[in-house]
Amino acid sequence: MATLPSDLPVVDHHCHLSPTGEGVRAAARFRAAGGTHLFLATQNYRGAPPLHLDDYRAQFETTLDLARQVTAATEVIVYPVLAPYPVDLVEAVRRLGRHAAVDLHRSAIDLAGRLVRERRAFALGEVGLPHFAVDPDVESAADEVLRHAFATARDSDCPAVVHSADLTPEGYRHLADMAASASLPPHRVVKHYARERRSAEESAQIAPSYVARRELVQAVARDPPPWFLETDFLDDPRRPGAVLDLATVPRRAVALAAAGAEAAERLRVPFETSVERVYGWRPEVRRSAR
């Protein structure tokens, strides 16, 4: 079995945990496979999309509490990522009307931005656009909210992690232009759940966070930064292991390291160099977490 460098962080850039799912048990499985750091994205824990700011406040606090529980129980270092889920806008516009729905999501983004500035969270996400066709009112609302999210990320000095349908190079450029209009550098935007390899030119300097499927990991392994690996683990008892099991990223890392020391060192790109490029700091490795 290949050995990873002892000072190498092993980072899943995007996952979810739930108090009604595996939670800490899934994180323990990640650690046992060699993982050291998780970017934990918030999600709706009650099923229905929130329709009040207090609901988002409670949701974010649940995510922060899960992060504390994981670190206390496993020593995995967790970076919470907070924002109202863009798909929530579909129901919010229907129930509240466009204006009130936009106000709610802007206020929730403001709350997430304050938590980032307090260093309780580390990025805004998932922000973005529904990944399916929606009514024009929802589409324009999502566009307005995303622009506000980019401005908030700029003011909070943090990345914005984007949810959207798969992007063509033209879609990446459009996203980069939206960020630039808010004075947010494109390298501080992450395209979550990227399923196609993109060059730096094709991605318009936006950082793809690739779903860690075996063939895609092998294809991007020698690409320059920034790019990440993620499982988008959902921690949903109705869909065990979806999207990928939380142990997948460390297992992929070990498989790549089997090619030799040079391949192992290349893993610093998604786990170390890209984090520094996009977030502005490098993950610290707690050697006892191995």
Scanning 122-236, the segments in alpha helix (DSSP H) are 136-156, 169-181, 214-220
Compute the half-sphere exposure of residue 253: CA atoms within 13 Å on the CB side of its CA. 32
In a domain, 30, yes or no: yes
In a domain, 138, yes or no: yes
In a domain, 84, yes or no: yes
Beta bridge partners of 271: none
In a domain, 264, yes or no: yes
The CATH number of whichever domain residue 143 belongs to comes to 3.20.20.140
Nearest to 60 by CA among 150, 101, 148, 120: 120
- Report residue 107: phi and psi, to 5°: -65, -40
User: How far is 83 from 109, CA to CA, in rounded Å?
Assistant: 6
Query: Total structural domains in the chain?
Result: 1
pLDDT tens digits, 90-127? 999 999 999 999 999 999 999 999 999 999 999 999 99
Give me the domain span that covers residue 203. Answer: 11-289
In a domain, 91, yes or no: yes
Longest alpha-carbon distance in the chain: 57
pLDDT tens digits, 231-278? 999 999 888 888 999 999 999 999 999 999 999 999 999 999 999 999
Q: What is the pLDDT of residue 238?
A: 87
In a domain, 6, yes or no: no
pLDDT tens digits, 14-27? 999 999 999 999 99
pTM of the model: 0.95
Average per-residue pLDDT for the chain: 95
Handedness of CA 19, 21, 25, 31 (dihedral sign): negative
Instruction: Please name the helix (run of DSSP H) or strand (run of DSSP E) that holds residue 94, with its range, or none.
Output: helix 88-96
Cα-to-chain-centroid distance, residue 226: 14
In a domain, 5, yes or no: no
Nearest to 177 by CA among 143, 152, 208, 139: 143
Q: What is the pLDDT of residue 171?
A: 97
Strands 189-194 and 160-163: parallel
pLDDT tens digits, 35-50? 999 999 999 998 889 9
Peptide bond into 226 cis (omega under 30): yes
In a domain, 127, yes or no: yes
User: How far is 264 from 257, CA to CA, in rounded Å?
Assistant: 4
Handedness of CA 30, 31, 34, 35 (dihedral sign): positive
